[in-house]
Amino acid sequence: MSSAEWQKIEVLADRSYPVYLGAPLEELGDYLHSLPEKVEHILIISHQTVLDLYAKRLMKGLEDYRVNLLVVPAGETEKSLERLSQLTTAALRYGADRKTLVVALGGGVIGDLAGFFASVFMRGIRLIQVPTTLLAQVDSSIGGKVAVNHPAGKNILGAFHPPQAVWTDFTTLESLPWIEVENGLAESIKHALIADSDLFDFFETQVDGIKRRDPSIWRMMVTRSSSVKVRIVSQDEREQGIRGLLNLGHSFGHALETQMNYRGVTHGQGVSIGIVAAAHLANAKGLITLDEVEKIEQLLQHYGLPTTISGQDPQALLQRMQADKKNQGGRKILILPQGIGNAVISKDCLDSEILAAWHHVISD
Whether 229 is a known active-site residue: answer yes
339: which DSSP letter?
A: S
Whether 254 is a known active-site residue: answer yes
Whether 60 is a known active-site residue: answer no
The C-alpha atoms of residue 222 and residue 226 are separated, in whole angstroms, by: 6
List the Cα angle 305/210/107 in 5-degree steps.
65
Whether 239 is a known active-site residue: answer yes
| Catalytic residue (one of 190, 243, 320, 332) | 243
Tell the burial category of 85 from Cβ atoms under 10 Å away from its Cβ (0-12, 13-18, 19+): exposed
Nearest residue to 3 (alpha-carbon basis) of 25, 24, 17, 29: 24
Please give the span between the terminal C-alpha atoms of the chain, in angstroms, as a whole number. 51
Whether 161 is a known active-site residue: answer no
Whether 327 is a known active-site residue: answer no
Is beta strand 126-131 parallel, antiparallel or unpaired with respect to 165-168? parallel
| Catalytic residue (one of 154, 191, 254, 280) | 254
Tell the burial category of 219 from Cβ atoms under 10 Å away from its Cβ (0-12, 13-18, 19+): middle
The C-alpha atoms of residue 64 and residue 277 are separated, in whole angstroms, by: 51
Is beta strand 153-160 parallel, antiparallel or unpaired with respect to 145-150? antiparallel
Whether 297 is a known active-site residue: answer no
| Catalytic residue (one of 47, 145, 224, 280) | 145
Beta strand extents in 85-134 (DSSP E only): 101-106, 126-131
Nearest residue to 139 (alpha-carbon basis) of 95, 210, 187: 187
| Catalytic residue (one of 229, 326, 332, 360) | 229
Residue 343, strand partner residues: 337
The C-alpha atoms of residue 30 and residue 10 are separated, in whole angstroms, by: 19
Whether 267 is a known active-site residue: answer yes
Whether 187 is a known active-site residue: answer yes
| Catalytic residue (one of 79, 190, 224, 250) | 250
| Catalytic residue (one of 247, 283, 292, 332) | 247
DSSP 108-119: HHHHHHHHHHHH
331: which DSSP letter?
A: B
78: which DSSP letter?
A: G
Whether 145 is a known active-site residue: answer yes
Nearest residue to 116 (alpha-carbon basis) of 158, 72, 151: 158
The C-alpha atoms of residue 33 and residue 274 are separated, in whole angstroms, by: 43
| Catalytic residue (one of 76, 180, 187, 257) | 187
| Catalytic residue (one of 38, 93, 123, 212) | 123
Which helix (H) or strand (E) segment is 337 a member of? strand 334-337
| Catalytic residue (one of 79, 161, 267, 320) | 267
| Catalytic residue (one of 27, 180, 237, 239) | 239
Residues taking part in catalysis: 123, 145, 187, 229, 239, 243, 247, 250, 254, 267
